[in-house]
Amino acid sequence: MPAEKSIYRLPVLSEETLDPRQRALFDSIRSGPRSKASLGGPFGVYMHSPEFGELAQQLGAFCRYKTSLKPRLSEFAILVTARHWRAQYEWHAHAPIAETVGVLPGTISDLKEGRVPTGAPEDEQALYAFILELYEAKRVTDRTYDRVRKLLGDAGMVDLIGILGYYALVSMTLDVFRVPLPTDVELPFAEPN
């Protein structure tokens, strides 16, 4: 049975309509730490290109669960990226996780509103300056790099760039395909006109 076309730019799929390649991808996503994953968020998009989806979800599982960064710093970086892209779904999914792993509510509020999180711990402020400089200048100065490298080490720097790159991919995916939030959720960011 063909999937119904949605206003969200891709046909809406359900578990019952997945073809064998899509089913294999969904099973792969659920075989790891995302055992309760649904077809929401980027996963529903990935189903439309299962080979790409498999590679992306493997990278995502690493970036979310296995990097050398503390979960607090990882989730902080994800929120800065979600804010940069105004990725509604990404923010909705990760803001509660960030608070659970120790990102302060005031910091989350500052990020959401586009303010510098001046009340954040020093390590988060260093990451914020790094990420902002990277996103705005497309480069980072030696001073900015060295400040974060002292906190994360060489492997952590590579992991941080992986997190930023992966969640930029997710943010673009969610934004371009207009992946919806649950119907009872208010949009975290104003949509562009």
Q: Which amino acid is at 9?
A: R
**What domains does the chain contain, in order, with CATH numbers?**
11-65 (no CATH), 71-176 (1.20.1290.10)
The model's pTM is: 0.93
End-to-end C-alpha distance for the chain, whole angstroms: 36
Answer yes or no: are the C-beta atoms of 160 and 65 closer than 8 Å.
no
**Which residue, 8, 6, 5, is CA-closest to 179?**
8
- The pLDDT profile of the chain, 193 residues, written as one tens digit per residue, is 344 444 688 988 999 999 999 999 999 999 988 899 989 899 999 999 999 999 999 999 999 999 999 999 999 999 999 999 999 999 999 999 999 999 999 999 999 999 999 999 999 999 999 999 999 999 999 999 999 999 999 999 999 999 999 999 999 999 999 998 888 889 999 987 6
Q: What is the DSSP letter of 16?
A: G
